[in-house]
Amino acid sequence: MSRYEKLAAEYGTPLYVYDLDEVAAAREQLFDQLPEPFELFYALKANPHPDLLKALRSGDGRRCRAEISSTGELANALAAGFAGSDCMYTGPGKTFGELREAMSLGVRMFSTDSVTDVQHVGQVATELGITAECLLRVNLATASAGSGIRMTGTPSQFGFDAERLPEELGELRRVDGVTIAGMHLFPLSNTADEDALISEFQNTIAGAAALSELLDLPLRYLDIGGGFSVPYGVPGGRASYPKLRQELEIALDVHFPNWRAGSPQLACESGRYLIGASGTLLAGVSNVKVSRGKKFVILDAGINTFGGMSGLGRLMPVQVGTDDEEPTETVSLVGPLCTPGDTFGRAVKVPGLAPGDVIRIPNVGAYGPTASLLMFLGRPSPTEVVVRGDEIVSVSRLDHSRSYDYQAVAR
């Protein structure tokens, strides 16, 4: 029996398996590809599992910070040992309730998306007698390859329109309780093409420098975003960016000559790259049927378990492996839910499968259970087992239940 077969036999399916060795390898790889000094935020949105968080928090001099966007994510970060001061709180709709909770628990850095967002942060900070640091999330929305900086953005709930910042800055500077500490840009996600990623970062760095000068706003902190790529639900490895470190150094030397001394302190961020490859989903085959000549393989995992977006009409191009067999046929791979939307693929190559078999979907460490339609159709959440090589670190499952305790849910 292979390791995966053993785990499936022991804990049942559907089963997420995360390997902490792989998390550590990804963290090392990403830090290796970045200049020093550079800070790296892990976006909890990708997967808030506490053991993954702990693995990202540890590491000699190469510890991640936490990028959070809700009080639930904050609670997870704190439980995993992050301090409030390790966190950056992002999102375009921060409420007074969550700002109060975040600041009370020690969060000081906020990525902000509008004048009123900064005012809300300032109001709560003032109430609490503290000073919060606001990064201005900037929506440059420029194509990276062009010459010069086009500040003609597409409309977005995220970030300040760069071209309006000159007129908004006066108002921002008048907000009590905050310092405008720097900028945050996040133009891009999941880019395996190194040249495209580098050119986007160059654009971001040049854009931030130009804006800082135009606004006469020195930056203490500059988060240049992310875009680091790993396959999702299909085989393959993390993208590699062998030229990135040097290209970033060159761009930073041009635009921020004191960056090596930490002025500004540079940061970037990632969710998927740090954990995507650590996860494998094991799903059981519940049934196989033929309808009008087409074979359907029905799994015990569907869009309630993985890739919930497919329920909204976007098919996940999953590929399936088993331990020893090559694909021999093409089938519709579907989940158990009572909706035709519960489909992983309509032409997925699989080995001959029968009820009781276990299949594997690789690279599911990011955007797994918590990004799926966990509650839909009321099945239990998948079991999640964390391993370090052959050692079992934890076995757990998210609960869903209704609470009638108003205090517990009030925000």
Ligand X SMILES: *Cc1c(COP(=O)(O)O)cnc(C)c1O
Whichever of 206 and 230 has its CB closer to ligand X, that residue is 230
Task: For the segment 220-279, give every residue that binds ligand X (CB under 6 A).
Answer: 226, 269-273
90 binds ligand X (CB under 6 A): yes
Helix (H, G, I), strand (E, B) or coil at 334: strand
Q: Which of 58, 123, 131, 189 binds ligand X (CB under 6 A)?
A: 189
Count of all residues that appear for the chain in the document: 411
In angstroms, the Cα distances linking 269 to 42, 182, 252, 330 are: 6, 15, 17, 38
Binding mask 9-48 for ligand X (x = CB under 6 A): ----------------------------------x-xx--
Helix (H, G, I), strand (E, B) or coil at 146: coil
| Count of residues that bind ligand X according to CB under 6 A | 15
H/E stretch holding 53: helix 50-57
Q: What are phi and psi of 136, to 5 degrees?
A: -85, 115
Q: What are phi and psi of 6, to 5 degrees?
A: -60, -45
Please, what is the minimum distance in Å from the beta carbon of residue 189 to ligand X? 4
370 binds ligand X (CB under 6 A): no
In angstroms, the Cα distances linking 188 to 112, 133, 145, 275, 329 are: 18, 24, 14, 18, 37
Residue 401 CB-density burial (10 A; 0-12 exposed, 13-18 middle, 19+ buried): exposed
186 binds ligand X (CB under 6 A): yes
> What residue number has its CB nearest to ligand X?
271
CB 13 within 8 A of CB 283: yes
138 binds ligand X (CB under 6 A): no
Please, what is the minimum distance in Å from the beta carbon of residue 135 to ligand X? 11
Please, what is the minimum distance in Å from the beta carbon of residue 325 to ligand X? 32
51 binds ligand X (CB under 6 A): no
Among the candidate windows 143-151, 183-191, 252-260, 393-401, which touches ligand X by CB under 6 A?
183-191
Q: Reply yes or no: is the peptide bond before residue 327 cis, omega within 30 of 0.
A: no
Whichever of 182 and 341 has its CB closer to ligand X, that residue is 182
Please, what is the minimum distance in Å from the beta carbon of residue 364 to ligand X? 13
Q: Which residues bind ligand X (CB under 6 A)?
A: 43, 45-46, 67, 90, 186, 189-190, 226, 269-273, 366
